[in-house]
Amino acid sequence: MSDATETDLVFDNAAEWFTRLNEVPTANRLALTRGFRDWIEQDPRHAEAFARVSTLWEAVGIHAAEPEMVTLRQAALADARNTAQRRWRLSERMPHLWRHALAACLTIAALGAAAYMFMQPTRQVYTTQIAERRVVTLSDNSRVDVDAGSEIAVEFTKKTRLIHLTRGQAYFQVEKNRARPFIVEANGRRVIATGTAFDVETLGKGVRVTLTEGHVTVRSASDPSTVLAKLSPGDQLVDEGNAPPRITRLANVLKATSWRQGKLMFDDEPLPYVLAEMNRYSQIKVSVGDMQVAKLRVSGVFNAGDVTSLIDALKAYYPVDAVAGASNQVSLFHQKPAATAR
């Protein structure tokens, strides 16, 4: 007998033991275990062959607890048992049939595992730091401009393209694919598109959606049947959660997307919001120090992160004092009137 044929027979026996050990109930396994131990001790190659079979089988076990994988493994094992039963009735001139049959069963299970894993969404997270902007090209050739201090998580499957905007702001240029919707989820809202361009910004617990091209539908993430708005180019939706969504037709799209050019445009915005936006681009953090300052509203165009120019503009137009603190902190206070000399 050639070495190759002998090796094949050893593998055949290892595969047979593997199947028998897996199909016999635990209560009836004592005698079988003794026989298996004797077989292992007969030749060092037996243990090596059994390890090869076990490794091949367990290679599909990464997702063994998943219902789909349980079904695949059970089916493959059942096929192997049936093949084992047929083997005893076959001529000894076909010594490789068992090995090939088990290998085929294991391969089927492995391919099933690969298909199962392919169907699961892959998750990729992109995060930007202070004053950092980045452009991400997705696997479908869609492009995402991620603003400073923002984070997106990408989950693509064969049927859907899902993006979670967990914080900050991003501009999406979506590759058209009607069979595979592109969904951006932010603060409990879903913006659904097939091929378009739009900006999404998180506002506390709310969102601002500005559409520049195409059409999108905004729905509730918790109840997808609830349509919050259908937007056309130039439309902007603001949904802060404490009131019905506001839709502005022919909105200032340039203002909403000016951050992509390193500018921040404000039009009668509350000062706390303006500071929060500027702080995403600056190591110096500016905050309001009292309620009078918090009520101020700001209009203007500033270079992103240029807090010095912002503070100078505030001091020029309002009675505001800037007080420097520790660790690059600056607080804005209402300027007290100078004491009148007696």
C-alpha 201/C-alpha 125 separation (Å) is 17
Q: Which residues contact 53 (CB under 8 A, 6 or more apart)?
A: 11, 14, 15, 18, 102
Q: Where in the chain is the domain with CATH 3.55.50.30?
A: 262-334
C-alpha 29/C-alpha 26 separation (Å) is 5
Counts for the chain of helices (H) and strands (E), in that order:
9, 19
The model's pLDDT over 134-192, given as tens digits with 9 standing for 90+, comes to: 999 999 999 999 999 999 999 998 889 999 999 999 999 999 998 999 999 999 999 99
pLDDT the model gives residue 295: 93
Q: What are the CA-CA distances from residue 79 to residues 60, 191, 334 (Å)?
A: 16, 47, 81
Q: Is 66 exposed, middle or buried (0-12, 13-18, 19+ CB in 10 A)?
A: middle
CATH architecture, domain 262-334: 3-Layer(bab) Sandwich (3.55)
Q: Where in the chain is the domain with CATH 2.60.120.1440?
A: 129-255
Residue 56, SS3? helix
- From the candidate CATH numbers 2.60.120.430, 3.30.565.10, 2.60.120.1440, 3.90.1150.10, the one assigned to the domain spanning 129-255: 2.60.120.1440
**CA torsion 334→242→165→208, rounded to 10°?**
-70
In tens digits, the chain (342 residues) has pLDDT values of 566 566 767 777 777 777 777 666 655 666 777 787 888 888 888 888 877 777 666 654 444 445 555 555 555 556 555 654 554 444 344 344 444 555 555 555 555 555 554 555 578 999 999 989 999 999 999 999 999 999 999 999 888 999 999 999 999 999 999 899 999 999 999 999 988 999 999 988 899 999 999 999 999 888 888 888 999 999 999 998 778 888 988 888 889 999 999 999 999 999 999 999 999 999 999 999 999 999 999 999 999 989 999 999 999 999 999 998 888 899 999 887 655 555
C-alpha 190/C-alpha 226 separation (Å) is 10
- The residue type found at 127 is T
3-state helix, strand, coil in the chain (%, to 5): 40, 30, 30
